Chain A
């Protein structure tokens, strides 16, 4: 009979090892799943994890890593601050949508103006849109003590309906022959979030994601606020004695997460996606939750986890076209990753011991 025994100190080794073990376990379990679906498991794993990086068409897929990874990292960095402090913003998807709508709305309002300040203004408005949307659950929690998990999630559905409404109405392309969706921002030079170096996949969102990683690292390791965030998560009572103001922390963490998610949405709509449409959002806000945990809520970890998750998106698309592996199989695969991570994580705080019989 195996028994868990609490460690005095969390294991440093397992803290680093757990994500790796989780990825390996997911590959094994995912391979079994693919075999069950009648696909060659080794080929599938190779197609997902190897081909985008080193395969024949890697020159095309490598830039995609940055394109898909940037929004995931950007959102996950914001979420990780809150998660560390026990503030559960799981509505990043909604904040992403609202940021995109706010930023694109500004661009479309000025159409067809050509001005250097338009894009920066869009970024600011995108961040504001996401921030304000996240402020709703934050304010309700601070004022009324309402559960922020449920409110932030409900607002995702509200945002999706709002997205449908604006792409059919307010922001609809007047020259779009009645089809839903806005003008294409890629054809609007002042508003286009173009690649900074052609063919590299590097757009302003990637730059913002890298800056966010660095800022979050400094915040958590070198700044009093970061200390307060960590303290609140690990010892809420001690945090109160240390003078942490929990309400301010909620507003700040949620606001930051919302702003980053909103910016991610804006960079996406002004760049790779190009236009506001009914199904413009691709679930990055939810996948970013997996990224945040897989990166152990640590900025550098999140950067790596974001790239890994981007790899599964791209590899999944390749496997979809070359092997007929369905996109939902990839979704299951990504879900497994979080599952195994949480499972393995027990070894960070506990050690396994052989025990005789259970007493109670």
Chain B
């Protein structure tokens, strides 16, 4: 084993890249759950976004258009969830599962034509002075645009929830939908918007995997990232800042275990590959002892007649 092969600067830099898909999906799901809706279809929306983004990027030759397509794909799939939970008043857990099963099949179906294709390469940010700074430049200022989009989204969601009227209404709907309804807020409309936002974010997270991290199309390539994102929202106690922290933690674990695999650690590859999932479970256990912060109406169906 050769641990000196692991370069700490590159490790931290790639940690930010590894964390971005989870970060994007989790910040979207955070908004959905803040509105009182539990969408377990994140995995399905991510994989749909991954293939939609991949297809659009290959066809147009533009990674940016790819991400737009991915957001549209993820939001499109989340429309099914809207139809099920907001109009047909179906159970949210079952609806989320159906979304994931459907999305996995749909993405494989679309993806057949794209196996073996290579997406257009994305531009890295290259700032004249900052990117050339010794350690900091490599870690902070030389990533692709989406890393910063993810960070900006976290800040935007945090500010929206904390300081704006829209954020207050969103939280009211999530905490007590009857009261929000009585105050005249359109519970269903607000929730639909939140679900669409979550879908778009999950889609972009998926596309980040297929366009930048891997980058190619493999069936089922999100491999549970959507579920880890769901766990991350619990871990973060529904706070945007802690979503960021958690995403970097998981990104760190992923990158570290990949590095250890490459360095030839004496532990078999399969056990290292288990580690992100095991750590997710561990984190869930630790966080479940104090479950403050869950929106009170989370997962409950709202119908104005009740």
- Interface, chain A (partner B; CB < 8 A): 4-6, 88, 90, 140, 144-147, 149-151, 153-158, 161-162, 164-165, 168-169, 286, 289-290, 293, 326-336, 338-339, 342-346, 349-350, 360
Contacts and interface: CB of A to CB of B under 8 A. Distances in A.
A88 B270 CA distance: 27
A114 to B, nearest CB: 33
21 contacts: A6-B303, A144-B288, A150-B231, A153-B224, A168-B270, A289-B97, A326-B108, A326-B109, A326-B112, A329-B109, A334-B101, A335-B98, A335-B103, A338-B98, A338-B101, A339-B80, A342-B95, A342-B98, A343-B84, A346-B88, A346-B90
A145 B274 CA distance: 23
B214 interface: no
A79 to B, nearest CB: 11
Contacts of B285: 140, 144, 146
Nearest to B103: A335
B84 A342 contact: yes
A239 to B, nearest CB: 18
Contact of B106 (A6, A155, A289, A335): A335
B167 interface: no
B284 A150 contact: yes
Nearest to A292: B94
B93 A147 contact: no
Contacts of B45: none
A153 B111 CA distance: 24
A331 B105 contact: yes
Interface of B: 40, 80, 83-84, 87-91, 93-95, 97-98, 101-106, 108-109, 111-112, 181, 184, 186, 219, 223-224, 227-228, 230-231, 234, 268, 270-271, 273-274, 277-278, 280-281, 284-285, 288-289, 291, 303-306
Given A157-B223, A342-B98, A147 B280 contact: no
B284 A335 contact: no
Nearest to B291: A145
Contacts of A146: 281, 284-285, 288
Contact of A4 (B219, B231, B280, B305): B305
A293 B94 contact: yes
